[in-house]
Amino acid sequence: MSVAVDDELWSAVGDPTRRRMLDLLLAAGGGTATTLSRGLPVTRQAVAKHLEVLHRAGMVEVRPSGRERIYEVSQAQLERAVEQLSSVGAAWDARLQRIKRMAEAIQRSSDEREAPTG
């Protein structure tokens, strides 16, 4: 079964800084823009902008905690992303198998033409 690919999601996680942020959030179980900026080579303001992109794509959930905003990876969206990757991977595996069969048929045909006759 083919799963529709969410371009906004993959655009959001296509950025290396945002992927690193997701890694940090998963490892820590959540965090703020301030705590994330300590582990990244970008400013807190840049982290906040990246978090907004991840939030719009549904990859992080946000909850207020006093003056802070706590971000956590959305497990549902993460599972959806894994499902999409699996679907895309399976489709590519099928395509590569078709290409392999075609290449093998071409090779057999070429070998038969080159084989000496009697």
> Per-domain residue ranges for the chain?
1-118
Instruction: State pLDDT tens for residues 54-89.
Output: 999 999 999 999 999 999 999 999 898 888 888 878
More confident of the two residues 30 and 113: 30
- Percent residues over pLDDT 90 in the chain: 59
- Residue 2: the pLDDT is 56
CA distance 47 to 36: 7
Whether the model pTM is above 0.75: no
- Quote the pLDDT of residue 62: 97
Cα–Cα distances in Å, from 16 out to 11, 32, 71, 79? 11, 19, 18, 20
Task: Give me the mean pLDDT over the 28-41 stretch.
Answer: 95
Fold of 1-118: Arc Repressor Mutant, subunit A (1.10.10)
